[in-house]
Amino acid sequence: MTRPHWELPQTLGALRRSPYSEERIGARSVKDELRENLLAKLARGEPLFPGIVGYEETVIPQIVNAILSRHNFILLGLRGQAKTRILRLLTTLLDEWMPYVAGSEIRDNPYRPISRYGRNLVAEMGDDTPIAWLAPEQRYIEKLATPDVTIADMIGDIDPIKAARSGHDISDELTIHYGLLPRANRGIFAINELPDLAGKIQVGLFNIMQEGDVQIKGYPVRLPLDVLLVFTANPEDYTARGKIITPLKDRIGSEIRTHYPLTLEQGMAITAQEAWTERGPRLKIVIPQYIRQAVETVAFLAREDKRVDRRSGVSQRLPITVLENVTSNAEQRALKSGDAVAVPRVLDLYAALPSITGKLELEYEGELKGGEVVARELIRQAVGKVFLQYYEGVDLNAVVQWFELGGSIRLGEAAPAAELVRQLRSIQGLLDKVGALGVGPKDPAPALVSAAEFILEGLYAHRRISRSEERGFVAEERKRPAVAAEPGELPRGRRPRFN
């Protein structure tokens, strides 16, 4: 249980007599602290990065090696690969509390202060120097790199206003305005999208990366900061917007490549963890497994589709937001039709097109077709692929024959599920096949409708039946073989043109 900070030593003298003695934390760096706590977690067999799925055998072991080696490191990968989340979870490897000289802007170590303020205070008050405490999350500072970031933002600058208010000479060290990096002293400093940082600002990181100190503009003072530097970058950024300059890359201890989920099961686990599908007690929502599989398969197919720009990638946010939209569409349909339970259907996948099209960077061929057409084709392919997992080798000829004999059915979105079930019973053998999807005759009507529609959409995806906006599901139109024409006669079915 976390001990409240007010029960911890409040003066330097009390700190010396506590477990936070000079021998324990006086010379220990933040990299040593992370290393020791990581080793302890490994020995106890505790999870290192809770909530991170799919990296157990690939990325996480490399991060562990970097921390054990006391490296600054960079996570390199496409968008939506949990890079920032991993960096923020590094705080779980920090101590429960960290003492510092109260009032110090750069969180001075009470035993070894580096700022003029900290040194003066300790020299003046000795064991009565007030001590404050930082929780792990307060020791993590993150900056999104943008082209307008300045050296003053990152390192610091002269502050004439501070000089005027305090009455100090402008050359006095006490008039320094500290940037983000000094303020991250004794903690973790993360820079997201490092290539977007201007080259001259990247140069400003050389000293802290190699010599462990920074020099602030206009002051003959070097601050020996204690900080772990971590970065993220997208490989596309090297050519699209900027690049990491070579000397800086050389100073980064480890470059760790992230990736998208390697299996459908990993992707589904991430999506189920992140998607907001628990909507409260007003309406029960049940999401079938085959719908979850279809949602995830859309992302997997998009990452392999030649019409989608692979350099940009297809973020894991795509299936997360699609599943949320699918759930919302089912939710509003159930409320409008009066159904007691909301069960997503295939039509909800098509209703989620706005959460797909905005996340696909298309190549030239895809641009010609348009994002919505590409997204619809991906949904159809995804349903067809998942359909095979349940119905490959299953005889569905009776269902197909019903349509070939002239049957058609339109499963409207506004109709109550009970009414749709009555219509579906007219299709011979259809409801007898929903058991493969884990649905039984005693399940609620919305579940039966969802399963039956999935079967029909699967047959449509494999071109065994057809579908139109006006009539719904109908028989597949068979192409008639061309009939040879007599000499001088037009082929049958063609009409002469009149100019």
- Can you spell out the DSSP letters for 370-388? -HHHHHHHHHHHHHHHHHH
Domain boundaries, the chain: 30-69+71-96+135-257, 264-475
- Scanning 362-429, the segments in alpha helix (DSSP H) are 364-369, 371-391, 397-404, 417-424
**Dihedral in degrees, nearest 10, Cα atoms 29, 35, 36, 42:** 170
Q: In whole angstroms, give the CA distance from residue 153 to residue 246.
A: 23
Residue 493: the pLDDT is: 43
Q: In whole angstroms, give the CA distance from residue 487 to residue 494.
A: 15
Q: In whole angstroms, give the CA distance from residue 255 to residue 381.
A: 36
Residue 106: the pLDDT is: 92
Residue 239: the pLDDT is: 47
Residue 2: the pLDDT is: 62
- Angle, CA 295 vertex, CA 265 and CA 290 arms, to 5°: 70
The answer for 67, left when phi > 0, alpha when psi is -120 to 50, beta otherwise, is alpha
Q: In whole angstroms, give the CA distance from residue 285 to residue 279.
A: 8
Taking the whole predicted model, whether its pTM rises above 0.75 is answered as yes
Beta-carbon-side half-sphere exposure of residue 286 (alpha carbons within 13 Å): 16
Rounded to 5 degrees, what are φ and ψ at 107? 50, 55
Q: Name residues of the chain where pLDDT drops below 50.
A: 1, 239, 479-499
Residue 100: the pLDDT is: 96
> Which residue(s) pair with 417 in the sheet?
none
Residue 478: the pLDDT is: 64
Residue 487: the pLDDT is: 46
Q: Do residues 242 and 196 lie in contact, with contact meaning Cβ atoms separated by under 8 Å?
A: yes
Tokens of 430: 């259809």
Residue 483: the pLDDT is: 47
The CATH architecture of the domain made up of 30-69+71-96+135-257 is 3-Layer(aba) Sandwich (3.40)
